[in-house]
Amino acid sequence: MTTFNDLGLDPKVVRAVTEAGYETPTPIQAGAIPAALQGRDVLGIAQTGTGKTASFTLPMITLLAKGRARARMPRSLVLCPTRELAAQVAENFDTYAQHVKLTKALLIGGVSFKEQDTLIDKGVDVLIATPGRLLDHFERGKLLLTGVQIMVVDEADRMLDMGFIPDIERIFSLTPFTRQTLFFSATMAPEIERITNTFLSAPERVEVARQATASETITQEVVMVRASRRDKAASEKRAVLRALIDREGTACKNAIVFCNRKTEVDIVAKSLAKYGYDAAPIHGDLEQSQRTRTLDSFRAGTLRFLVASDVAARGLDIPDVSHVFNFDVPTHSEDYVHRIGRTGRAGKSGKAIMICSTSDEKYLGFIEKLIAKDIPRAENPLGTTESRQAVDSADVEAASENEKKPRRSRGGRGRSKMADASANETQAVAEKSETEASVAEAPAQDAPREEAPRRGPSAGRSARGREDGPVGLGDHLPSFIAKSFEERMSR
Ligand code: AMP
């Protein structure tokens, strides 16, 4: 059996790996490390959980241990689609390079430019970045990429989903033609194939089994729900989610709840919290410090429910997650595989439960085709009638107000998604205010009756007089709007 000693790594790197507790290289490591150490390009088709991060960090550290960094000219570059993934890669470098003297900088949105500028000015061996932030630095003339000897593209398929491919192509063209490229993707979409054909030179192709086929430890089920009315669909689904969590009881130690949209992430997290579930959201529009805090507490086991978007949770290595709830059926079938792969890791058992509305049935079909099996149907724990009754009727109108509210257009596909990773600051601020607006309304929408007293048909108008109240909000008046009117009345 291959050991880390057989791979040709620097003994100091092997020592760090042994101290990290790894005994044998994973298949992607055994395949990629020797080729990378020979200076060859590597095309790794593997997803998170396979040990792919070490498959590029270990040879990089070995290769970079010789030589020294020059001011403003990083010697290697690792591109990641999200801040969290970049931060995780940086942690990996810290672990494996602890006996080797290497400098690194992390260029991600939400971290001050100044601090990173100082590091880069001094010269770094490893620069870990999200594409947008890297190009921001480059355009400000703070960085030269002509000294890059090794370039890593991590999670290329997610880069494609996020519209980063033009940025990646530009970054490739800014680095020397002679660089070594280590390129990782969970899947090989035609666009990814094109990039690898253009920018990689005779790569060693290392492909490891997809997680979908290896996930026997995950029990999957899907609960079909039919909304009583279209405008009640989301709040009825939230009631089903709570019932499913209750049904799982203490077996549900912790869970990631996935939603398709960032606004939904906020609403579901607020709603769960209002009903007394220990939940917090994570998505790209939140402050970096808040994202870090939330993730840390989820990892530490002090937060039970992490409500997440695909992008924010992508690639995160959280070893011990008992459940994954898919609040929505993902529209990209691949995302289903990534989502459920957050549980049942390292041989532990896990459970993945998905809620499927009538309108999402076709996506469920695509998923079942991809994983080549039918996901067992489970009973709706509320039954059909009860799930409708479980929704507080006072909340329904407010929820539908929010759900029907037209969302501001955010430009082209790529750019809007970019804010989920390394944000263009202005856009991030604009998007943040959009999110905050929906968050502000969220508690009232889904709150239990005792927490959000219903404003009856006459309550608002007779108390304040119709002309003093806002027009067009129906019977429900969100509390933050009511406050401004009450202030006006009391003057
Ligand atoms: P990754 O696919 O890079 O996200 O890694 C998934 C997890 O596997 C991380 O928690 C790593 O610390 C762990 N890991 C990486 N390589 C090995 C190895 N050879 N043996 C055991 N665990 C590993």
CA-nearest residue for atom 18, ligand 1, is 22
| Rounded CA separation 151/343 (Å) | 31
Burial call 27-37: b when 16+ CB within 10 Å, e when fewer: bbbbbbbbbbb
CA 461–ligand 1 middle distance (angstroms): 61
CA-nearest residue for atom 6, ligand 1, is 49
Q: Provide the residue ranges of all domains of the chain, joining segments of one domain with +.
A: 4-207, 218-397
State the average pLDDT over residues 377-390: 70
CA 364–ligand 1 middle distance (angstroms): 31
Task: Determine the pLDDT at residue 423.
Answer: 33
The one-character DSSP state at 266 is H
> What would the two tokens of residue 69 be?
């960094």
Residue type, 359: S
Helix (H) / strand (E) containing 221: strand 218-225
Q: What angle do CA 195, 200, 204 make, to 5 degrees?
A: 120
Q: Which residue has the higher pLDDT, 342 or 19?
A: 19
The share of the chain scoring above pLDDT 90, in percent, equals: 51
Q: Is the CB–ligand 1 distance for residue 26 below 6 Å? A: yes
pTM: 0.59
Q: Is the CB–ligand 1 distance for residue 25 below 6 Å? A: yes
CATH of 218-397, one of 3.90.420.10, 3.30.365.10, 3.40.50.1100, 3.40.50.300: 3.40.50.300
Could you tell me which CATH class the domain 4-207 is placed in? alpha beta
Q: Is the CB–ligand 1 distance for residue 44 below 6 Å? A: no
Task: Determine the pLDDT at residue 475.
Answer: 37
State the closest ligand 1 atom to the C-alpha of 20, by its place in the atom list counted from 1: 12
State the average pLDDT over residues 164-168: 95
| Rounded CA separation 245/117 (Å) | 46
**pLDDT classification of 330: cutoffs 50, 70, 90:** very high
Q: Which of 4, 28, 53 to mutate to test the pocket of ligand 1 (most atoms within 8 A of CB)?
A: 53
Q: Is the CB–ligand 1 distance for residue 317 below 6 Å? A: yes
Q: Which residue has the higher pLDDT, 439 or 98?
A: 98
Q: Is the CB–ligand 1 distance for residue 49 below 6 Å? A: yes
CA-nearest residue for atom 10, ligand 1, is 317
> What would the two tokens of residue 291 be?
């994202």
Q: How distant, in Å, are the alpha carbons of 307, 378, 438, 489 from that of 219?
A: 20, 12, 34, 57
State the average pLDDT over residues 468-487: 41
Please tell me the number of Cα atoms within 13 Å of 328 on its side-chain side: 22
Domain 4-207 shares a fold with domain 218-397: yes
Q: Which residue has the higher pLDDT, 14 or 430?
A: 14
Beta pairing partners, 219: 351
Q: How distant, in Å, are the alpha carbons of 15, 101, 118, 129, 236 from that of 105?
A: 23, 14, 10, 8, 46
> What would the two tokens of residue 463 be?
């108390």
Q: Is the CB–ligand 1 distance for residue 51 below 6 Å? A: yes
State the average pLDDT over residues 382-399: 50
State the average pLDDT over residues 71-96: 93
Q: Is the CB–ligand 1 distance for residue 88 below 6 Å? A: no
